[in-house]
Structure 1
Amino acid sequence: MSNHTKGPWHRNVPPATKYTTIFAGRNTHVARVVTDGGLTPEEVEANCDLIAAAPELLKALEAMLQIYGDSHDKDRDELETYAITLARAAIAKANGIYL
């Protein structure tokens, strides 16, 4: 596990083009989204939402792998195998391990 700031994280109120800070708790600033152009306001909003959801997404993937990741079912279909592979890669990336 990495030493990232514990969640939950939340974002400042919209619009993200003006308020771009992601928080953990009341006064812990985790990130500030900086855009240098080329993104629509909708994309900036969605990116802030995605960053704020990161701790919950990581927990969900870790829980999924605890349930499904170690099974060696010969009948597992390609989509399940692909999802588990993506989950492992995302967890590794979130923990600073680049595969």
Structure 2
Amino acid sequence: MTSKHTPGPWVVHDHPTDPYQYGHHVTTADGLTVCSVTYQLPVSTLNGVEEATRIANARLIAAAPELLEALIRLESELVEDKYGNDYEPSPFENLAVARAAIAKATGESA
């Protein structure tokens, strides 16, 4: 499977990027911005979203490439052993959940 998203790893920068825009910025290791979880004023709560929640959201986004890769590897191991034996249908009931998450992240059908 080839990736269409910006390759990881992604990192979070928890500091303002300019005097007027505060936020948590998710970038590639070489500094390419993937996304920003921002706000206009340095307040602890903005529109009911706590600062800790904004940081947690940025960290979850930054972990996305690694989470997707881990899920793809686990999905593969659940249906095929190291000798190439295929176990479809898999006895693991959560495999459908894993496949749906992979499909959502990659834009493909489950």
| TM bracket (short chain) | 0.7 to 0.9
Moved >2 Å (runs of 4+): 69-74
1:86 to 71, 74, 97: 97
Higher alpha-carbon Rg: 2
| Greater alpha carbon shift after TM alignment, 55-64 vs 19-28 | 19-28
Higher RCO, Cα 8 Å, sep 6+: 1
Q: Aligned pair in 2 of structure 1 residues 93, 45: CA closer, same or farther (>3 Å)?
A: same
Give the length in aligned residue pairs: 93
Identity of aligned residues (%): 34
String of CA shifts for 1:1-51, please: whole Å, max 9, x gaps: 441000000110368x93321001222001112466221111111111100
Distance in 2 between the 1:34 and 1:98 partners?
A: 32
Unpaired runs of 5+ in structure 2? Answer: 40-45, 81-86
Unpaired runs of 5+ in structure 1? Answer: none
Any idea what SS the aligned residue of 2:34 has?
A: strand
1:60 aligns with 70
